[in-house]
Amino acid sequence: MIARIKERPVRAMDDTKVHDILTRILASGVVAPGTKLGERQLAEHFGISRDRMRRILQRLGYEGKLELVPNRGARTIDPGLADARVVYEARRVIEGGIALSVTERLRSSDLDALFAQHELEREAIARDDADAALALGGALHMGLAELTGNALVVDTLRSMVNRTSTLLSVFGPNDGPACSCREHGTILEALASRDPLRAREAMCSHLSLVETRLRMRPRCEAVEIETLVRRELERQGPSLDGLRPPPGTAAPADHHFERDSA
For 185-243, the DSSP string reads HHHHHHHHTT-HHHHHHHHHHHHHHHHHH----PPPPP--HHHHHHHHHHHTGGGGTT-
Whole-number Å distance between alpha carbons of 31 and 185? 32
Say if CB 40 and CB 73 are below 8 A apart. Answer: no
**Stretches in the chain below the pLDDT threshold 70:** 1-12, 29, 79, 216-223, 237-262
What pLDDT was estimated at residue 118?
96
Alpha-carbon torsion, ordered 75, 70, 233, 243, to 10 deg? -160
Domains parsed from the chain with CATH numbers = 1-78+224-262 (1.10.10.10), 81-213 (1.20.120.530)
Residues 218-254 as b or e (16 or more Cβ within 10 Å = b): eeeeeeebbebbeebbeeeeeeeeebebeeeeeeeee
pLDDT at 157: 95
pLDDT for 11 equals 54
Q: What is the structure's pLDDT at 8?
A: 45
pLDDT in tens, 200-248: 999 999 999 999 998 865 455 556 777 778 877 777 754 443 333 333 3
Q: What's the pTM?
A: 0.65
Rounded to the nearest angstrom, the gap between the alpha carbon of residue 237 and the centroid of all alpha carbons in its chain is 23
Note the pLDDT of residue 209: 95
